[in-house]
Structure 1
C-alpha cells in the first residue's frame, strides 16, 4: 500500500477514535460538571433565580465557563438553572421565553448564533429582565444589559507575535479558522494578519476553517500535509483545532518540524505543551468569565448598576510558564 493511501486511512481511523473518546481530563475538569438542568445552590431570597441558556454543553471550553458560573453561584448562594440549547438557535429562544414565563429575575446567555442572541435579548428587554451575554459577541449584544468576554483581537495578536518570534520573522504559516463569522474567528485571525503584515518574511500559504473542532482540525491538517505545501507554523483560532493538527502531523512524523499555536490554554492543550508538542497558546479565563456573568446578572436583578462590557484579560502561555496555568486547573 502506498504512503498516500495509508495516511488518509490512518487519519480516518484516528478520527473515529477522537469522536468516541478525547484526552482524559483530571477530576477537577469542568467538563465533568452536571449537564442539562442543574440548580447550583438554594437561595436565601425568593425570586432571585437566574436562568442560564448555554449554546452547547458538549463544547469543552464552554464547560469551563459553565463551571465558573456554578462555583460563583454556590459561593454567593444564588439559585441558577442551566439548560442546554444543543446548538439549536430556535430551541435557545424557546428556552429564554420559558425562563421569562417562569419568573426568573435575570438571564445569562451563551448564544448559539446571531439570530438567537437578537431574539433572546429582545424578549428579555421587553419583559424588563436583565440579560447578560457571555463569550460570544454579535452586534445585537450591544442591546443586552452586559457582555462578559475577552478581547479576541488581543488574543490573535499575542499568539502571532510569539509565533513570529519563534520563526525569527521568516516562514510559511497556515491559519486554522474557527466557525466563520463568529467574533472570535474574525478578530483572532485579524490579529494574526496584523502581525504578519509587519513581518514581510512571513507568508500565509494556507487558510481554511475547522469550526473549532479537534477532529475537523485533524482532517484539515491531513489535507494540508498531503498538498505538499511547505509549512513552518500552524496558527489556530482555538486549542481543539490545533491539537487535531498536531495529531495529524504526528502521523507523518512532521510534528517536530512545525510550530503549533492555539488559543484558550485548556487543560488538554497545556498537557500537549508540557510534552513539547504545542509551542504557543493564549489563556482565556473561562471560569472567570462565567463567574463575572453570574455576578453581573445577580447585581442587575438586585437593581444595581453593572458595567456594559466586562472584559477578562488574555495571557500568553509558553513552555516557560506552562506549569503556572496547569496549576489553575488543579
Structure 2
C-alpha cells in the first residue's frame, strides 16, 4: 500500500511539473516580409521570443488580407497559445479578433493599430501614427523656413498609419499661410513605386519644394528619382529611421527622418504576449515613442 501511495504521489508530482513547465507557442502573422520595417520587426521578434523561451511560428501574408485571415484561423486550429498580428488592413481585423476571442487566445497587434475597440486579452504595441506625421512635417517646415509647396508620398491607404500620418502632415501645413500641398499620391510603402510617382511629378514640372514621405522606403525612392533628374533642390523627409534611411540622412540626401523604434515595438509585443500568457493585466495601448533623426544627431541611432 505504501509503495502504491508513493507511486501515486510521484505521478502526481511529475504531472504537476509537466504542466508548470509547459512551453508556450506564439503564432506571428506579419503583413509582408518584403517590407523593410516589417523585416526588422521579424528579426527582433525572433530573437526576443527565443530569449523568452517561447516557441514561435511566423507566416507572411504577402499583403493579402484574405490570406492573413486564413493564416490566423490556421494558428487557432493548430492550438497556438497567443498570436502577434501585424495586420495587412487595419480596417479588416474584426474577423481575426472575433476568431481569437472565441478561441480564448490572446491577440497582440504590433506596429499597425487596429481601428476597432479591443476586447480583454488583446492589446496594441506601436507608435502614434499621427504624432509621427506631425513631428515630420514640423521639422520639415522649419527647414523650409515655413514657406513653399509640399508633395506627400502616402503609404497603402488600407493602413491607419498612412492615413493618420498624411492627415497630420496636412494639418501642420495648414497652420502656415505660405505653405500648401500641391501633390499627394500613394506609393504603397514601396521604393520603386515612389521612383515612378516622383518621376511623373518632375516630368510634369510640378513646383515642389519638399516631399514628405510616409516612410523611409518611399523617401529613398523619391531621392532616387531626384538623382536621376539631377535635382538637388527638393527637400525629402521620411519616417521609420531604418538603417537605409539613416544612411541617406548621414550622406545628406535625406533632410530628416522620424525614428520609429521597430526593435522596441517587436520587443514590446513579445513582452505583452508573455504577460497575457502568464495571466497578467496589460494596457490596451502600449506606445513606443518617436524621435527625430537629422544629420546632426544620426550617429546616436546607428545601433538601434
Give unmatched runs, 5+ long, in structure 1. 1-43
Q: Are 2:283 and 1:283 equivalent residues in the alignment?
A: no
**Which residue is 1:12 aligned to?**
none
Contact 2:82–2:107 (CA under 8 A) maintained in structure 1: yes
Could you say which residue in structure 2 is the equivalent of 1:175? Answer: 152
Deviation at 1:46, TM superposition (A): 2.1
Contact conserved, 2:23 with 2:54, CA < 8 A, in 1? no
- After TM superposition, the score normalised by the length of structure 1 is 0.83
Instruction: Map 1:113-124; keep pairs closer than 5 Å.
Output: 113-114=89-90, 116-124=92-100
Of 8, 20, 25, the match for 1:49: 25
Shift of 1:138: 2.8
Look up the match of 1:195. 172
Residue 11 of structure 1 corresponds to: none
Are 1:79 and 2:47 matched, yes or no? no
Shift >3 Å, 4+ stretches: none
TM (norm. structure 2) is: 0.90
Structure 1 distance, partners of 2:261, 2:189, is 17
**1:88 offset after TM fit, Å?**
2.0
Q: Any residues of structure 2 matched to 1:84-163 within 5 Å, and which?
A: 84-114=60-90, 116-140=92-116, 142-143=118-119, 145-163=122-140
User: Residue 226 of structure 2 aligns with which residue?
Assistant: 249
2:255/2:295 contact within 8 Å kept: yes
For residues 156 and 116 of structure 1, what CA distance do their matches in structure 2 show? 23
Alpha-carbon separation, structure 1, partners of 2:248 and 2:59: 32
1:266 paired to 2:247: no
As a proportion of its length, which structure holds more strand?
2
Structure with larger Rg = 2
- Tell me how far apart the structure 2 counterparts of residues 122 and 99 of structure 1 sit (CA, whole Å): 14
* 1:87 aligned counterpart, secondary structure: coil
Tell me how far apart the structure 1 counterparts of residues 131 and 92 of structure 2 sit (CA, whole Å). 26
The alignment partner of 2:303 has SS state of helix
Give the root-mean-square deviation of aligned CA atoms.
1.5
Q: Whole-Å Cα distance in 1 between the matches of residues 133 and 226 of structure 2? A: 23
* 1:32-72 deviation line (CA, Å, top 9, x unaligned): xxxxxxxxxxxx93251111111211111101111221121
Distance in structure 2 (CA, Å) of the matches to 1:141 and 1:84: 25
Q: For structure 2, list consecutive stretches of 5 or more residues without a partner in the other structure.
A: 1-19
Q: Does 1:229 align with 2:206?
A: yes
**Alpha-carbon contact 1:147-1:309 (below 8 Å) kept:** yes
1:70-124 CA-partner distances (Å, limit 9, x unpaired): 1211222121211112222222222212212222111111112246521111111
SS at the partner of 1:188?
A: helix
8 Å Cα contact 2:90-2:160 kept in structure 1: no
Q: Distance in 2 between matches of 1:115 and 1:168?
A: 37
Q: Distance in 1 between the 2:178 and 2:293 partners?
A: 24
Which residue in 2 is equivalent to 1:314?
Answer: 290
CA contact (8 A) 2:88 2:158 kept: no
Counterpart of 1:304?
280
* CA positional deviation for 1:325: 1.3
Shift of residue 288 of structure 1? 0.9
- 8 Å Cα contact 1:90/1:116 also seen in 2: no
Whether the aligned pair in 1 keeps the contact of 2:115 and 2:160 (CA below 8 Å) is no
Q: Secondary structure at the match of 1:228?
A: coil
Decide whether the 8 Å contact of 1:141 with 1:147 is kept in 2.
no
